[in-house]
Structure 1
Amino acid sequence: MVFQKSVRKFIASAATAAIIASSIVPAASASSNKFSDVPEFYQDAVDYLVSNEIVNGIGDGKFGNDYHIKRADAALMLTRALGYENYRAPDSGFEDVPEYAQNAVNVLKDLGIVSGKSATSFGAHDPLTRSEMAKMIALTFDIPVAGEAHPFQDVNPIYTDYVQALYNAGITNGTGETTYGANDLTTRGQFAIFLSKANQYERNVPDVLVSDLSGTINEDQSVTITGQASEIEKIIVVIPTNESEISIEAEVVNGYFSVTTDMPAANIHTIIVKDEEGNVLYEGIREEAQVKSAAYGQIYFKEGYVKEQF
């Protein structure tokens, strides 16, 4: 069974905002064989991104395959890949971002994917290093840090988890047996390959069934949440809040699990159940007919896809 990846916390103030203007030249649906500078090795990746309207060429029949990609352009492509190019996010505070990429950078900063070079500088016109690329892509697509440690000896500890995530997901093999090319500048062709692989990445999780989640309001006003689970020994119950989220681990005993939280029942609107690797197993929306937090009784959740908006 393949479960949808959890959607990151994202607050959209206007879902109908205008499409971002881009400095990347728009073109009709195209394929890489229309670009004179795309070698065969890169064609599938470039075709994938072009057909999904994530990127186009730079004009004059060229993709700019060997050009170093700017951080602003990388941000724009990632936001398009997420499908968030029409959303608005709080201003990032970065003063060096060109107009065409401002909203994309705002979105990625709001999602916690980028933090910039300083409080007022994103480094928008700087070329993207391969280490920076690994971090941006791993965070954008929620690729977990799992599996064996990567074999690369040139990766700064700050970036090693992100490189390991991409390595075990089959997105990168490095530039050599023990080198990732961590400080090398990323070309547009390389970014196309990484982005196309990540955008098609799907996390396979065990055939776990989580069901029948409900909450009991206790006399002390704490809430005990119970549910059923099969084919798994431990789960994590996540309760989103206005500012962050509460995560509580629980053992599954004879097919049942139980957790207790002091959060007021009135504040519990959604429930997310994950495995230890962060895969979403269940997303529940609180049903309309509810008892109030001041009363004793039950809270029920109906299963459904939850997009967190807290």
Structure 2
Amino acid sequence: MKMVKKKTILTMFLSAVFPFILLNSSAQAASFDPVLAEPTERFPFHDVPAEYQERIQVLYDQNVFEGLNKDQFGWSLPIKRIDVAVILYQSVPMTTEGVKKTEMKDVPERAVMAVSALEAMGIVNGKTATSFGSNDTITRGEFALMASQAYRGTLRSADQATHTFLDATGRYKTAIDQLQASNITQGRSESEFGTFKVMTRGELALLIYNLQTFSHKTDN
């Protein structure tokens, strides 16, 4: 009899508490979802976190960045090397006068001028003598190298870096040090820049925005 009574009390307790546990867990899970920007006629993208809308709006208005389609920016998607080259070309003032056409065989027509100009300025290299690796995704380390060359003379010295990135090593170290010293990036965590991780379109957009902002401050 006592055992039945205890089971009854336990059942009543769980019936009362279990829905609350589910509700509370769902609320906590939902809180990790980013608040997305509200699309407008001027800003059509519905996959950009609201906290970054203003920065992406600036790049969109400058025609530095376009969306993947009419209403998607592709925030969390990886980006190809050729697209990064075009975006860098559009975001960094440079001359194309007298620039020799690139010999990279895999560069699409839409990007020939961009890659040619970036090559001439020593900002990009191919994967081989004749291949740019246009359709390969770009890593964060590869972009750091490009950015350090595109903004050389503008970024702070590498010896001013204060990070603790364990993966800022080898040929990437100086470039990453310069970006962190200039407050362009704080990495993916305190101990990881994400050197060998694939870069997303959202990450690239924020870095481009930070690079432009830092460059304008330096010029002024």
Relative to the length of structure 2, the TM-score reads: 0.73
Shift of 1:42: 2.9
CA distance in 2, matches of 1:196, 1:203: 11
Within the candidate set 177, 192, 195, 2:205 is matched to: 192
CA distance in 2, matches of 1:53, 1:204: 21
SS at match of 1:107: helix
Q: Tell me whether 1:159 sits opposite 2:169 in the alignment.
A: no
For the Cα contact (< 8 Å) 1:141–1:199, is it kept in 2?
no
Match runs of 1:252-267 below 5 Å: none
For the Cα contact (< 8 Å) 2:64–2:87, is it kept in 1?
yes
Within the candidate set 69, 72, 78, 1:59 is matched to: 69
CA distance in 1, matches of 2:89, 2:175: 19
How many residue pairs get aligned? The number is: 176
Cα deviation 1:238-284 (Å, max 9, x = unaligned): xxxxxxxxxxxxxxxxxxxxxxxxxxxxxxxxxxxxxxxxx9xxxxx
Q: Tell me whether 1:49 sits opposite 2:62 in the alignment.
A: no
For the Cα contact (< 8 Å) 2:137–2:198, is it kept in 1?
yes
Q: Tell me whether 1:30 sits opposite 2:55 in the alignment.
A: no
Cα deviation 1:207-229 (Å, max 9, x = unaligned): xxxxxxxxxxxxxxxxxxxxxxx
1:113 aligned partner: 123
Shift of 1:140: 0.9
1:100 aligned partner: 110
Equivalent AA in structure 2 for residue 134 of structure 1? A
| RMSD (CA atoms) | 2.2
Instruction: Show structure 1 runs of 4+ deviating over 6 A.
Output: none
For the Cα contact (< 8 Å) 1:150–1:163, is it kept in 2?
no
Q: Which one has the largest radius of gyration?
A: 2
Equivalent AA in structure 2 for residue 38 of structure 1? V
1:78 aligned partner: 88
Shift of 1:203: 7.7
CA distance in 1, matches of 2:95, 2:62: 13
Equivalent AA in structure 2 for residue 30 of structure 1? R
Relative to the length of structure 1, the TM-score reads: 0.53
Judged with a 3 Å threshold, the aligned counterparts in structure 2 of structure 1 residues 184 and 114 are, in CA distance, closer, same or farther, namely same
For the Cα contact (< 8 Å) 1:88–1:103, is it kept in 2?
no
Shift of 1:115: 1.1
1:179 aligned partner: 192
Judged with a 3 Å threshold, the aligned counterparts in structure 2 of structure 1 residues 119 and 174 are, in CA distance, closer, same or farther, namely same
- Structure with the larger helix share: 2
Cα deviation 1:70-92 (Å, max 9, x = unaligned): 11111101111124487562122
